[in-house]
Amino acid sequence: MAVAAKRDYEASDRKLDRHMSVWQLFFLSMGGIIGSGWLFAAIASASLAGPGAILSWVVGGVLVLFVALNYAEVAGMMPRSGAIVRYPHLTHGGYTGFILGWTYLLSAVTVPAIEAEAVVTYASSYIHGIVNSSSELTWPGGILFGIGLMILFFIINYVGIRFLSQFNAFVTGWKFVIPGLTIIFLLVLDLHTKNFGSYGGFFPLGTQPVLGAVASGGIVFSYLGFRQALDFGGEARNPQRDVPIATIASVLAGMVLYVLLQVAFTGGINWGFFHVQVGDWAKLAASGSAAADAPFYVLMKGSGTALLGGFATILLIDAFISPTGTGYVYLGTSSRTVYGMSVVGYLPNWFQGITARFKIPWLALVASTVVGCLFFLPLPSWYELVGIISSATVLTYIMGGIGLPILRRTAGSLTRPFRLWGAEVLAPIGFLGAALIVYWAGFFTLAIVFAGVFVALPIFVWFYAPSRGWINPASGGVLGLVFLVLWIIVQRWGGYALTATPATLPHPQFGVFYFVTICMIVGFTGALWYLSNEEGRKAVSSTWWLIFFLLAMFAISYYGAYGAAGTVGAPKTVGIPFPADILVVIMVSLLAYGWAVHSGYETEEIAAIVLSGSGLVAQDPIGQVGPTPQAAGGSAPSPTPSPGG
């Protein structure tokens, strides 16, 4: 049974092209890191924390590094394409895997559109009418421009991983050079040391925003590119060695680059040329600022130095290349995410279709492109979207620190080319790092993320649970429909989601809203457990820690220093002040971490992988489709056609 499960589970993995070297994996991750973040995150974080944003980049980089270290061991042991959505399924079963997989999918499919939006926004400096005064794309010019970029991203991905990795190495080289020259030119030719302390000190807005900027200022959004090496791991030539190296190295290189960029930007601010009152940090990225749509370009044009003014023109070229380079990389990631969710059964298996010629998941790529284009509909600007996307992504990264100790227990016999020293300490720190970043995003951001996460629960009982034989399809249909209708009603009443202008419920009304939310999610999960067979109940039982963690974080976020309670519509006495709120988050997170590690179990799929004796997936011989008899542990199935060109 276990062998058959492995054959079905990984058959499509054998068709992927194993081509990428360690340098190509590294450039892929760096291509994800150096994108619109370097163009916009410096001004976004400075507007939130002033010069203290320099420290924000350090804090964010260190926390992301802890997350990456945990994934490095797991990915080195068991590299897979679409890895991040597949690992939770291997440690906690289908229910946990679906919730976190859907969350990751929400972020993955939106990033290419955000990068395309960054290109259009910078282009508005010389093409008028494509962006409005709120930095939103206009119809038809701006939106059609964005859709054209998405089509370009699609073409680059469709022609195969060989072309993608080679082309991306060249593009990423350019993306290293231009920010590097920007740092040198600004520090040498246009450094105003007064900006670091004369206008309110190094922390003009206090220390609390320094942490908030990590999630909301585009900082974590910029670092998230490190995941590319993980999600393309199944297409690497020597993944067990190269994926951990590329993952860790990309975070370290990104941290050095971004800290220096923030120093250079802060020191180069010309307040008068920005049309911002001297020392008014909060207005730097506001709609009235002359630099909101093209920060570094305006910075250099206003320096009064001929060399910087000339180099500013090159920045307009880079403003096309850098986000475009990140956009096509993330479109590849989103297609691997769709592919990975199909492999574990959360989406239909036709998303596993691999082209015979280019060996890429073509239908998953098409779906990712189409869904990504939907985000060009009237939506908030880059500055507002990055907080939502970052929080959704980082929420899934809590599994890095959880999965490592569980897989040491359930898959201890598998070879680990990279073994994390001090994992007993670093694994929970990685979990805490992800939890703190999620909390720092603020209540309103988390309210939207949580609404989007739980709205997908009906899909689980309509598709996955019946397909696995957990529940009767009719029972799942009724349960999902009732939950969906009630969830939409509750979210509309709460006013945090499904509305253009989020409301702020005062303390008593929020208490009612929160109680109803608890009843709905706990009730749905309890009903799913009751209606499921033994296999389903085991997976549902292993998910209670996640339900607890999400609901607890939602409440702490409202009552904490980054939330609504005590600031708007409610007396301050109901809030948890800073930094006491950080201690509460840490205590709740450690409780959830211990519960999560205890809840992990040997799933059917991980048992099959362990039985094979290797965390690697054998590749089909040339001309053969499907698993080999030796890899599958049995007789080879009849060949099945591979869709696409």
Q: Where is average pLDDT lowest: 106-115, 494-503, 585-594, 634-643?
A: 634-643
Query: Averaged over 316-344, what is the pLDDT?
Result: 83
List Cα–Cα distances, 626 to 12, 583, 591, in angstroms. 7, 51, 43
| Digit-coded pLDDT (tens) for 371-403 | 888 877 765 555 566 667 777 777 888 888 999
pLDDT tier for residue 626 given thresholds of 50, 70 and 90:
very low
Among the listed residues 618, 603, 615, the one whose alpha carbon sits nearest the alpha carbon of residue 1: 603
pLDDT tier for residue 11 given thresholds of 50, 70 and 90:
low
Measured distance CA(564)–CA(389) in Å, rounded: 20
Query: Averaged over 463-472, what is the pLDDT?
Result: 92
Instruction: Give 621's Cβ-side CA count (13 Å radius).
Output: 7
Q: Where is average pLDDT lowest: 38-42, 428-432, 535-539, 571-575?
A: 571-575
Say what the pLDDT of residue 86 is.
Answer: 84
Say what the pLDDT of residue 625 is.
Answer: 38
| Digit-coded pLDDT (tens) for 279-320 | 888 888 776 677 777 888 888 887 778 888 888 888 888 888
- Is residue 569 pLDDT above 50, yes or no? no
Residue holding tokens 């010019």? Answer: 141
Say what the pLDDT of residue 618 is.
Answer: 62
pLDDT tier for residue 521 given thresholds of 50, 70 and 90:
very high
Measured distance CA(88)–CA(325) in Å, rounded: 29
Say what the pLDDT of residue 505 is.
Answer: 64
Measured distance CA(35)–CA(222) in Å, rounded: 7
Average pLDDT, the chain: 82
Say what the pLDDT of residue 550 is.
Answer: 93
Residue with the bigger pLDDT between 498 and 435: it is 435
List Cα–Cα distances, 410 to 274, 424, 610, in angstroms. 57, 16, 8
Query: Averaged over 249-277, what is the pLDDT?
Result: 91
Q: How far is CA 352 from the centre of its chain?
A: 22
- Is residue 252 pLDDT above 90, yes or no? yes
Among the listed residues 117, 111, 123, 57, the one whose alpha carbon sits nearest the alpha carbon of residue 265: 57
- Is residue 503 pLDDT above 80, yes or no? no
| Digit-coded pLDDT (tens) for 531-549 | 999 999 999 999 999 999 9
Q: Where is average pLDDT lowest: 141-155, 350-364, 369-383, 402-416?
A: 369-383
Tell me the two tokens of residue 548.
Answer: 């607890």
Query: Averaged over 178-194, what is the pLDDT?
Result: 91
- Is residue 52 pLDDT above 70, yes or no? yes
List Cα–Cα distances, 304 to 285, 441, 490, in angstroms. 22, 37, 55
Pick the CATH number of 2-85+109-401 from 3.30.565.10, 1.25.10.10, 1.20.1740.10, 3.40.960.10: 1.20.1740.10
Among the listed residues 51, 388, 48, 57, the one whose alpha carbon sits nearest the alpha carbon of residue 208: 48
Tell me the two tokens of residue 420.
Answer: 């994390």
Q: How far is CA 459 from the centre of its chain?
A: 21
Phi-psi map region of 644: left, alpha, beta (phi>0 left; psi -120 to 50 alpha): left
Q: Which backbone phi and psi does 232 adopt, to 5 degrees?
A: -105, 15
| Digit-coded pLDDT (tens) for 257-267 | 999 999 999 99
Domain spans of the chain, in order of start: 2-85+109-401
Residue with the bigger pLDDT between 632 and 618: it is 618
Q: Helix H segments across 374-412?
A: 382-396, 398-410
Measured distance CA(239)–CA(374) in Å, rounded: 34
pLDDT tier for residue 584 given thresholds of 50, 70 and 90:
very high
| Digit-coded pLDDT (tens) for 199-219 | 888 999 888 889 888 888 888
List Cα–Cα distances, 88 to 74, 106, 342, 438, 443, in angstroms. 11, 16, 14, 18, 26
Residue with the bigger pLDDT between 286 and 512: it is 512
| Digit-coded pLDDT (tens) for 73-86 | 988 888 887 777 88
- Is residue 622 pLDDT above 60, yes or no? no
Secondary structure class of 131 (helix, strand, coil) = strand
Query: Averaged over 475-504, what is the pLDDT?
Result: 82
Say what the pLDDT of residue 631 is.
Answer: 35
What percentage of the chain reaches a pLDDT higher than 90?
29
pLDDT tier for residue 124 given thresholds of 50, 70 and 90:
confident
- Is residue 627 pLDDT above 50, yes or no? no
Three-state DSSP string of 545-610: HHHHHHHHHHHHHHHCCCCCCCCCCCCHHHCCCCCHHHHHHHHHHHHHHHHHHHHCCCCHHHHHHH
Q: Where is average pLDDT lowest: 199-208, 255-264, 512-521, 606-615?
A: 606-615
Say what the pLDDT of residue 483 is.
Answer: 96
Number of helical (H) and strand (E) elements in the chain, helices listed first: 30, 0
List Cα–Cα distances, 534 to 111, 306, 468, 525, 539, in angstroms. 38, 73, 12, 15, 9
